[in-house]
Chain A
Amino acid sequence: MKEERGNSKVIVITSGKGGVGKTTSAGAISAALAKRGHKTVVIDFDVGLRNLDMIMGCERRVVFDFINVIQGDAKLKQALIRDKRLDNLSILPTSQTRDKDALTQEGVKKVLDELREDFDYIICDSPAGIERGAHLAMYYADEAVIVTNPEVSSVRDSDRVLGLLNSKTAKAENGEGIKAQVLLTRYDATRVENGEMMTVEDVLDILAVPLLGIVPESQAVLRASNLGVPVVLDEPSAASRAYESAVARLDGEELEIKIESERKPGFIGRLFGRAT
């Protein structure tokens, strides 16, 4: 929205349900965007729990946080942590000692406006739920990535969040739609075949928004988060390739969506054209 960087984008990573892989995805997406050469910052909105800095492997470098900036106790530049692997990637960690009430709408807007001046992509890692933290994470977003597992309660919560995105965000209040896409995570082709998980078609049929990508269930994801490395910066895996192609699409490339499985390497699932 600022003059020099008119094309900076605020993208919220949200889901409604907890434990579906929001923070992992926020870390992977922001690292992949930075790898593609974009100046990227990822903000942790999960005040009080503070997981993003661990996923990004910078928990020991946190001095000031998002809440300090909002409350004017620190400058934004003091709180931003530059990633050691990618110098165009920054992390804005959150506070572990405060709660979500410390977030204010004006404070969030001020920080985002300031970040828009310096960054191409601002990734907001939303907390689970639909309360204050999640609401403020999505409120100023230009786009949304809905992280969903192929499982009914996750899909229903995502549907609920899509409803909120279309009613309770600055764009929606302006009468503009917010572009939302689904990132299907923890997808297990074998379990889908056995009917234990929902199929991609079923999920998209309910959510009625375009698919951004399918990330297979993978040991690599758990390994990477325990190491504090975004999965796309760790050794190659089906999950890291899935995140990279999802991010390429997020960045405007037109790519087919492949389902790759960790268990049967080389198995190419059904191809999905991108819904528009």
Chain B
Amino acid sequence: MFQTDARQGGAVTDVRPFQIRGRFLTAVSLQPAGGLPDAAFWDALDEKLRQTPHFFENAPLVLDMGKAPEIASNADFRAILRELRQRRLSAFGVFNATDEQVAAAEAAGLIRISLGRDAPLPSRDRRSPAGRDPKRLLPPDNLVIERPVRSGQTVMADRGDLIVIGPVSSGAELIAAGNIHVYGRLRGRAMAGVHGDQNARIFCHDLDAELLAIAGLYRTSDNIGDALRHCSVMVRLEGESLHVEPVGGTDADTARSKR
């Protein structure tokens, strides 16, 4: 199943305001049979959703009208859409539809889709719809560094967590797709969740960082404040702000007295 997608270029550095690109995406197709879906139909669908709760959640969905010529009015489509949305299924188009159905569906906010070819969902992909992304198929690759990370060095864990056992000097950079742990003093920069993982966190034994960032949101040393300097901290994203809090039972005073 495919669709073209015009994506707004979000980068500030982009000269053009947008980019247009062809994008392929996998969508789930739902083929109702017979007349307007009734309670039994929705019960059966609920049962199916229960079996694989995460598979269908917010999955792009198209309606295959090939076996339901009776569904033709705008009200029918609106009713179906309402039910689907309640089940967190996002229907966006119809195919195999008659002209009459297309007109009614378009009035309900669906688009007409013409298909290249049809294929059943391969059974091995049933558990992970995103499994087609090759990056997702690779296991995480965590990186453990057991010596000081020095000024001018960059250490990157592109597919996992980065664990540093030793100090990280001012002018050094830690970059990780996942979490960053520093068992030592962190004086340099730490950037976690660089591929956009907002659940990534930074843990460090002794905070004295120049910059902390998670999923692109950052704070420099000026904005981190002195209260937690030289403390064991955890940094995480809370909504749209970076949250630095003590962790590991060390309060600010004991951490300071360690110095």
A-side interface mostly: helix
* B166 in complex: contacting residue of A156, A205, A206, A208, CB < 8 Å: A208
Complex Cα gap A162–B152 (Å) = 10
* A156 in complex: contacting residue of B147, B148, B151, CB < 8 Å: B151
* A208 in complex: contacting residue of B148, B152, B153, B171, CB < 8 Å: B148
What number of A residues sit within 8 Å (CB to CB) of B? 12
Complex Cα gap A163–B145 (Å) = 13
B-side interface mostly: loop
Number of A-B contacts (CB under 8 A): 36
- Nearest A residue to B185 via CB reads A205
Q: Which residues of B contact A157 (CB under 8 A)?
A: 151
Instruction: Pick the most buried of B148, B149, B166, B171: most chain A CB atoms within 10 A of its CB.
Output: B148
Complex Cα gap A158–B151 (Å) = 9
Interface residue B150 (Cβ < 8 Å from any Cβ of A): yes
Q: Which residues of A contact B179 (CB under 8 A)?
A: none
Decide if A166 touches B169 in the complex (CB within 8 Å). Answer: no
Decide if A159 touches B151 in the complex (CB within 8 Å). Answer: yes
* A39 → chain B closest CB, angstroms: 34
Complex Cα gap A166–B187 (Å) = 19
Decide if B148 touches A160 in the complex (CB within 8 Å). Answer: no
* B187 → chain A closest CB, angstroms: 8
Decide if B166 touches A163 in the complex (CB within 8 Å). Answer: no
- Nearest B residue to A209 via CB reads B148
Q: Which residues of chain A from 121 to 173 have any CB-CB distance to chain B below 8 Å in the complex?
A: 156-157, 159-160, 162-164, 166-167
Complex Cα gap A167–B152 (Å) = 12
Decide if B147 touches A206 in the complex (CB within 8 Å). Answer: no
Complex Cα gap A5–B200 (Å) = 54
Decide if A160 touches B151 in the complex (CB within 8 Å). Answer: yes
Decide if A156 touches B171 in the complex (CB within 8 Å). Answer: yes
A65-85 interface mask toward B, CB cutoff 8 Å, 1 = contact, 0 = none? Answer: 000000000000000000000
Decide if A159 touches B171 in the complex (CB within 8 Å). Answer: yes
Complex Cα gap A156–B210 (Å) = 14
* A89 → chain B closest CB, angstroms: 33
* A206 in complex: contacting residue of B149, B152, B153, B169, CB < 8 Å: B169
A183-222 interface mask toward B, CB cutoff 8 Å, 1 = contact, 0 = none? Answer: 0000000000000000000000110100000000000000
Decide if A163 touches B167 in the complex (CB within 8 Å). Answer: no
* A155 → chain B closest CB, angstroms: 9
Decide if B167 touches A208 in the complex (CB within 8 Å). Answer: yes
Complex Cα gap A167–B151 (Å) = 13
Q: Which residues of A contact B153 (CB under 8 A)?
A: 163, 167
Complex Cα gap A10–B106 (Å) = 80
Complex Cα gap A208–B146 (Å) = 13
Q: Which residues of B contact A159 (CB under 8 A)?
A: 150-152, 169-171
B160-171 interface mask toward A, CB cutoff 8 Å, 1 = contact, 0 = none? Answer: 000000110111
Residues of B whose CB lies within 8 Å of any CB of A are: 147-153, 166-167, 169-172, 185, 187
Offer 28 A-B interface pairs, CB within 8 angstroms, sorted by A: A156-B151, A156-B169, A156-B170, A156-B171, A157-B151, A159-B150, A159-B152, A159-B169, A159-B170, A159-B171, A160-B152, A160-B171, A162-B148, A162-B150, A163-B150, A163-B151, A163-B153, A163-B172, A164-B152, A166-B147, A166-B150, A167-B153, A205-B167, A205-B185, A206-B167, A206-B187, A208-B166, A208-B167
**Which 7 pairs of residues, A with B, have the shortest CB-CB distance?**
A163-B150, A159-B151, A160-B152, A160-B151, A163-B153, A159-B169, A208-B148
Residues of A whose CB lies within 8 Å of any CB of B are: 156-157, 159-160, 162-164, 166-167, 205-206, 208
